[in-house]
Amino acid sequence: MTSPMVSTELEPRGGALYSGFVDVIDSQKGARGWALNHVDPLDPIRLVLCAGEQAVAETLANGHRSDIISAKLGRAVPAGFAFEAETMQILSTFMDDPNEPITIRIAETGHLLASSGRAPTVGEIVAQLRLQAAPEPRDSVADFEFLLDELRASGATLAEGQLRAQPENLQGYIETLAADTSGHVWFIGWMKRGHVQEFSAVVVERRKYPAAVAVMCYERDDLPADFCGVVGLISSPWRPSSATAELHLFFGLGGRFHLRAHAPLRVITSGELVGEYEAVRERCFGEGRTVVLQRMLTTVENWLPTRVAAQWFATECSIGSILLVPGLGCLVEGWVMSPMKRIESLRLRVGASVMSADPESLYWKPRPDLLATFPGSERMVERAGFVGLFSGDAEPEDFADPVLKVIFQGGSSANWPIAATAFRRLGHSARVEDALPFFPALQDELFFPRFAEAAIRAERAAMNPPVVLSVTRSRRVMVFVLPEDRCDLFLLFEELTQQCRIAGGIESVAFVAASRSNRSDALWLFREFQVGPGATHGIACSLLVIEDTAQAFALLPDVLRELGANRFFFAGAGVFLREAGWARARQALTQGSIDLVFFGVEAAVYEEQDLTEAGVTARCFAWSTGPFMRWTMNAPSFMGGFYRDNGLFQSRLAPIVHQGTASTTRTLLSTRVQEAVNSTVYALSGQNRGLPQARKAATPASLAEGTSQLQQAVA
């Protein structure tokens, strides 16, 4: 798996300017080592990770290395370098020749860093990566139930043996039992630490029942340190009854260990058990399938619709509309008329997900339109309408039997089924603007940063990979996203044709069309270009189709993967190069160039500077595939595809900017909400100067603060 190459060389040989050594190149550790400039030891050397002759990534040798002592300064100098493991994943795009060695070179000199052994090849590293990427077992409910089936089968074998409840093997007690309607038995109790959390078992109550048991543990102050509380699931044909008292649960090798029922044993309803579980939920710990177990537990609560006639007080409820935001929850608008009891909280179940209304988002509003149905209820309708965000892990794939639970003061509750027609799903049947009817001041809500990130994720999840209609792989390629306007589409091909006529020097072009707008015209224009200027000038031509041009930037890694390009130029839809831009684009694609190059895009309007969109934008740039792929691993996405520089500008030490070398025929327009979503995501991604940097560590409060700061900055 690894190629250890340990360095001992520190002194320059033969008057060389540089020394350096590659300590390791590995799929998990990345590439590490050191490099030193003898003339100016404090000037960090720029290094390039190469696959054969192709640049993959670059970095600076400026890491701390106490073992690297400069002969000139007589002390340790920051000469360490590291290409992180993520960088190695980029190598999968360099599989044209898997036998190419992975080497480290000093940028702009070609000087190769030495190593103690043979340099690994691209193919070897990629093979290691594939092994590591082998799928892990999924923690889904379905997988978990499959596991229980297997354990229960083993329990049958266990039941065939002699089972004796030896006092010294008593591991704990079952204090409470509850059965749910799906056939599972749940228990609460305590047991000795150190056992696995899922195991085969045998339930013994007058006779033996093969069983599978899964537990989650929680801290209990009333127990010795080597014991913990447990909430567990028993999957077996056995059911507790009111007479259940003498009960043993054998487990372990040959059924050596056992739990026994506490006397008296409590048998409660599943709803009550969930309530008790909620009380200890915060103290649960453990790995494995605890989360799945928790999810199963929350579904045992009764969500059957309440019959109005069965209520001793008349309550009415209706849901107007629900916007499901995958990964965030549901925005819900509706009304509740409860003449007798005050409403304490609202909960929503969709499939296996149970969501509670966020108190900071929930607000009540008048619904005077209800007076026609409830005459004389003026006071009640003043606070009948409600809107709230129900946070939770609502996944569209798990959409089934939606129910709203209204929990009244005192703990009683009532359930109302929700018509499936009330639902819409963000990223599929709804846009971010559709959240405004729920929360008119959406971008000022505390949950907005979470909403923004979820909206971006939903948009990203809705994207399908490009469909390849024609591909000719090439090292250096110009990627043009075809404009949606038919006239601009014609113009782009004409401009490219004209460049072929008057300048040439184009090696490969790839067009990205959109199935929603221009696919057919793009197809015949592409064929004309392919057999015309393409054939005449020997240009490799490719055509890929995506759904929407706004997805082009997010899908650019997929496009580049299809093209096998190591260096590329990218122009978004509606961007046209000017004469100088064409020359710069050709220059940016010359062999050996590794710089990130921006082409300043301006609106092509005479005497109307208000439309000028000068400056750096991700709508037009050139870069190397390797560093770009690495950047995209943690890069944010944006609504409409672009927002400012998309965070690209700060991804490189010294990007080159050619101002005014491109123009656009369409200014990107976004709605107020889209703009807010993008600016929030931009800020959260840590790319916006001086704004919150740590996306992972951000709490809702800090996110809101970040949004506020950004809004102030914008203002």
Partner 1 sequence: MPESMAAPPPGAATPEPGAPGSNAPGLNGAGPDTAGLGAAASDAAGPIAIVAHTHPSVSKGGAEIAAYVLYEGLRMAGADAIFIAICPSSDRSRLLLGSDREFVIISDQNRYDPFYHLSGSDVWRQLKSILLRHNVRLVNFHHILQVGINTLRALQAETAIPFTVTLHDYRAICAHHGQMVTRPARRLCYAASPAACATCYPEHSRQQFSTRRQIIQSALMQAAGFIAPSHFLAERMIEWGLPRERFVVIENGVRLSGKPDERARPAFGAPGAAAGAGLADSRPWTFGFFGQIAPFKGADILLDTMDLLAKQPDIAQKLRLRFHGSIAGQDPAFVTRFNALIGKNSFASFAGPYDNADVRKLMLACDYVITASDWWENSPVVIQEAFAAGRPVICTGIGGMAEKVPNRRAGLHFRSGDPTDLARAMGEAADDVLYQALCSGLPQVSDQAAMARDYLASFDRLVKSAGAPEAARQPRRRVRASV
Q: Which residues bind partner 1 (CB under 8 A)?
A: 485-488, 490-491, 494-495, 497-499, 501-502, 524, 528, 532, 576-579, 582, 603-606, 608, 611, 663-667
Residue 365 CB, shortest distance to partner 1, in Å, is 38
Residue 605 CB, shortest distance to partner 1, in Å, is 5
Distance CA 614, CA 115 (A): 47
Q: How far apart are the first and last CA of the chain?
A: 54
Question: Residue 213's closest CA among 193, 241, 239, 232?
Answer: 232
Contacts of 212 (CB under 8 A, 6+ apart): 147, 148, 149, 150, 151, 152, 155, 198, 199, 200, 201, 234, 235, 236
* Amino acid in the structure at residue 457: R
Residue 369 CB, shortest distance to partner 1, in Å, is 37
Distance CA 353, CA 80 (A): 49
* Calculated CA dihedral for residues 605, 611, 613, 618, nearest 10 degrees: -90
The CA-atom distances, in angstroms, between 412 and each of 312, 387, 484 are 11, 21, 56
- Whichever of 424 and 666 has its CB closer to partner 1, that residue is 666
- Whichever of 605 and 633 has its CB closer to partner 1, that residue is 605
- Whichever of 103 and 663 has its CB closer to partner 1, that residue is 663
Distance CA 209, CA 155 (A): 8
* Calculated CA dihedral for residues 110, 116, 121, 126, nearest 10 degrees: -110
- Whichever of 98 and 505 has its CB closer to partner 1, that residue is 505
- Whichever of 526 and 682 has its CB closer to partner 1, that residue is 526
- Whichever of 111 and 578 has its CB closer to partner 1, that residue is 578
Residue 490 CB, shortest distance to partner 1, in Å, is 4
b/e per residue 574-583 (b: at least 16 CB within 10 A): bbbbbeebbb
- Whichever of 94 and 569 has its CB closer to partner 1, that residue is 569
Residue 388 CB, shortest distance to partner 1, in Å, is 40
Burial (CB < 10 A; 0-12, 13-18, 19+), residue 225, is exposed
- Whichever of 236 and 663 has its CB closer to partner 1, that residue is 663
3-state secondary structure of 471: coil
Distance CA 346, CA 355 (A): 9
Burial (CB < 10 A; 0-12, 13-18, 19+), residue 213, is buried
- Whichever of 382 and 528 has its CB closer to partner 1, that residue is 528
Alpha helices, DSSP H only, in 4-140? Answer: 85-89, 122-132
- Whichever of 278 and 494 has its CB closer to partner 1, that residue is 494
Joined tokens for residue 226 = 């080597």
Residue 533 CB, shortest distance to partner 1, in Å, is 9
Residue 116 CB, shortest distance to partner 1, in Å, is 54
Contact yes or no for 660/578 (Cβ under 8 A): yes
Distance CA 651, CA 687 (A): 9
Q: What number of CA atoms fall less than 13 Å from residue 614's CA on the CB side? A: 8
3-state secondary structure of 355: strand
Residue 110 CB, shortest distance to partner 1, in Å, is 36
Residue 603 CB, shortest distance to partner 1, in Å, is 5
Residue 512 CB, shortest distance to partner 1, in Å, is 19
Residue 485 CB, shortest distance to partner 1, in Å, is 7
Residue 483 CB, shortest distance to partner 1, in Å, is 10
Q: Three-class SS string for 174-204?
A: EEEEEECCCCCEEEEEEEECCCCCEEEEEEE
Residue 537 CB, shortest distance to partner 1, in Å, is 13
Contact yes or no for 678/643 (Cβ under 8 A): yes
- Whichever of 499 and 632 has its CB closer to partner 1, that residue is 499
- Whichever of 552 and 668 has its CB closer to partner 1, that residue is 668
- Whichever of 39 and 503 has its CB closer to partner 1, that residue is 503
Distance CA 475, CA 304 (A): 61
